[in-house]
Structure 1
Amino acid sequence: MSTFGNYFRVSTYGESHGRSVGCIVDGCPPGLQLTEQDIQPQMTRRRPGQSALTTPRDEKDKVEIQSGTEFGITLGTPIGLKVMNEDQRPHDYSGGGKNIDAFPRPSHADWTYLEKYGVKASSGGGRSSARETIGRVAAGAIAEKYLRVAHGVEIVAFTSSVGPEHLFPATKQYPTASTNPAFLDLIGKVTRDDVDSFLPVRCPDTQVCKNMEELIGEFRDRKDSIGGVVTCVLRNVPSGLGEPCFDKMEAMLAHAMLSIPATKGFEIGSGFGGCEVPGSAHNDAFIKTPAAPPGTLPDGVSAPAKPRLTTKTNNSGGIQGGITNGAPVYFNVAFKPPATIGQAQETAGYDTSVGTLEAKGRHDPCVIPRAVPIVEAMAALVVMDALMAQSARQATRGLLPQLPETIPLMEQSSNLLSRAS
């Protein structure tokens, strides 16, 4: 369906070449300072036309808050967000001698949408277009602001591979990035400003970024496309989030990420490379959490009253038993090459006759650079929903008499409600 989340619910609307796209956010806590300026930066990072390596579709993606706030403060009521489609060109999909009306585009959703609904949008893929993700990014920016203000959560994604070009290629010594000190150092400190200083590809390494840019340009010039991987890290995520057994944190992250158009794979922590590491090296031993240096915690967020545990390594990716353990959460999302390409392709039409299809629409030769803020947004929505679920549990638990034998455990394992007065 078009709704995601249980407590922080987001419903997106709109088609690729319709009048507008956007979303309704239901469940946002009241009292959060929020204006369009809090949302627009992520919209701008996602928008088309950013560089010669993206679709030339010229959309400003200016977001408008339609409801749910007053004088820049959230009211706790549904927040309506709208973005007008200013450069839609449905006529690009009307045929023009290229047979696009008669043929479902290979690896696109034209055929499956027709099979499911008996009708489909005639232009740009309709709801299957990445244009739908505008609502996700807008809602994610709201969730992210709350997480940042309330808990100091930081969410940063970056390009880690394009085609055969990898930022951290697997080696015999480091079969998975989780065992590579350079990778662990990067995810521990990389910021969005760092990532965006490596435009247009958003890979935080000068030489690798250049290689990726040249590779994408080669595919663009021959009217082809290429895929890649986005890596995302979430820092300062409170421990205790995740709902076993079926709504484990990594399961919900996988659900969210694989709902993004063009995704084909998800791995968390050591991922598939972790299969090559023995258990004696893969297990994350527990250690005492180092004290936070002065001035590193956000205003209003207090340090735990008592020493807490963390892990010496983080092959688990910050999640164990489906529940966050307080360590950084990190994962990879694989995106396939964009399905719509400018090359002529021999394929079968709706009437089963064989012919040639040559797409005319404007397309990205690689979605990875623009997918970065989409991945960040969906991660924020997952954490926000899990946080609200756990906060509700803790609030109701807090109304009961304390059980002496559980007090030390409760104090150590939870910091959700730990705030400076």
Structure 2
Amino acid sequence: MRLVVLGGGESGVGTAILGKKKGYDVFVSDFGKIKESYKEVLINNEIAWEEQKHTEALILNADVVMKSPGIPEKSAIVKKLVEKGIPVVSEIEFAAPFTKAVTIGITGSNGKTTTTMLTYHLLKSAGLNVGLAGNIGKSFAWQVAEDSFDSYVLELSSFQLDGIINYKPHIAIITNISPDHLDRYDYNYQNYIDSKFRITMNQTEEDYLIYDADDEAIAEWLKNNKTKAKLIPFSLTKTFSEGAFIKNNKMEVIINKEEFLMETESIALEGKHNMKNAMAATSVAKLMQIRKSTIRESMSNFQGVEHRLEKVLKIQNVQYINDSKATNVNATFFALDSMNSPTVWIVGGVDKGNDYNELMSLVREKVKAIICLGIDNKKIIEAFGNVVDVMVEVNNMNDAVRMGQRLTEKGDTVLLSPACASFDLFENYEDRGNQFKQAVYNL
């Protein structure tokens, strides 16, 4: 069996290692450059590879192809594979049959990393032998090849779900759905929604789907489509006989007639959206039969996720917050919504078809100045030019942070929450967040 891996990054190299271990003839092809550290791994494992090209003769003879999530379906080589009827799958689909572990799959436009980390923290604190993978950390395939976990918490992007055929998580979570990555879905929101719901397409009556019952797109899909999974809703406004909700300042989770209660103020994460993440993760913990005392303790000591509303420093009584992970409008909505002081907002980058109107009322209420940090800021300026008093354009992070300092007074906040991808000026959102933190430390 010949396995061709497109993309020599974390998921690609992990898949290559697993494929080799399972007796496949493996070839890795990357149209860009492969990092030195990954090259070493491929060479040490005697896996054939090429970079900066796709040699068709070496690719179109595959029995199965694993495509890295970053490569669009529209790319020429993928189209040729599909025409030839060669299955093109994601890393999750390729690796899942090689493990007996229970998987918990988490997707959503926002909140999925926090929910994934929190769920992992809950299960690990309870002493379960659990791995963390997907869009985060070490590749799932690599772990399946080298470790033997009993369960995995997987953060799954819509791109990873597009590449599944038979994979099903025992427990699936959809945190929420809002327009994102529409450039990859022909600018059709419904295509993107359907993509997210692939997480439940193979689930059976034995499996569970935990979802945000306040989310319009999710409610609409569930009204018009069927899943066999047992539904477990969570909500900030409704209550359920089975599900998770907030009542009298307590989080209540009722599953299999067992009730769990916790005061919301003793939950470490702040903000309404984090209450939802907490309800989703607690629902998993209850399904995995983790003790109530362990859940309470883990919920009260969870540290949060880097680059997600991360408090960096207070300088001259101005709080600097790194929310670089906010790569779409909906994530930035949560960030602005949780601001309690006049805010200087650093925004911009590569726009994925954003509609900034959703932010209008929050910007009017909370934002005193906007700093545009991107190569093309036209849409942001058109949207908010008449709404805020001060609007500045910069093209590097040091200038953005220095300008932020200049525009603030005591008690204000400087918030980096870009609502855009980072690839115009930075390597990725982590690089953008780290540059922000470094610039703040240098003030």
TM > 0.5 between the two?
no
Normalised TM-score (structure 1): 0.31
Which structure shows the higher helix fraction? 2
User: Whose relative contact order is higher, 1 or 2, with alpha carbons under 8 Å and at least 6 apart?
Assistant: 1
